[in-house]
Structures are given as C-alpha cells and as structure tokens.
C-alpha cells in the first residue's frame, strides 16, 4: 500500500480537526458523484484537500455512489466544474 502525499496549506479547520464533518448539515450544498472505480472516495477527498479550504462532508453509500457536500456554495461550484 502506498501512502498518498498531499500538500496542504495550514488551515484552522484542519488544525482543530473539524474540516470534515461527520454528518450532513442542512445548509451544506450537496451533490451525488457516480464512479466506476472503487477508489472514488479517496480520490475525491484528495482533490478536496488540495483545492478547497472550507468544511465538507463525504460519504460513500454504495460501490459507485458518493455524496459530496460543501458549506460554501462557491466550493461546490468549483468542485462540479473542475473535478475530473
């Protein structure tokens, strides 16, 4: 198993461990991502950590469906436009 190397700028949310939320708040912008690979959740989380700064929610429901949500609507827009 290889370790992923991620370059992250210092972020107060990361420092306190509250950037990734364990539940989906109502005010988060949400979308469903469908993928044919089993590593979709890890790939999406790597992309989020490298390209966004706010809080997010990530949950893999079944093999090919992942729920992604962001607190900031602009980060959701960026994700939908730029992720793969």
- What's the pLDDT tens digit per position in 13-62? 877 778 999 999 999 999 998 877 767 888 899 999 889 999 999 998 87
Specify the pLDDT at position 15: 76
Q: Which residues pair with 57 in a beta bridge?
A: 69
What is the side-by-side strand order in the sheet with 65-70?
A: 29-34, 65-70, 56-62
Helix (H, G, I), strand (E, B) or coil at 14: helix
What phi and psi, each to the nearest 5 degrees, are found at residue 43?
-65, -45
């Amino acid at each position: 198993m290889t370790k992923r190397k991620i370059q992250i700028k210092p972020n107060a949310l990361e420092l306190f461990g509250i950037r990734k939320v364990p539940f989906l708040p109502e005010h988060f912008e949400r979308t469903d991502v469908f993928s044919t690979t089993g590593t979709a959740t890890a790939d999406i989380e790597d992309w989020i950590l490298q390209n966004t700064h706010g809080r997010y929610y990530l949950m893999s429901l079944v093999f090919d469906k992942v729920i992604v949500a962001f607190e900031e609507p602009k980060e959701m827009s960026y994700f939908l436009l730029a992720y793969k």
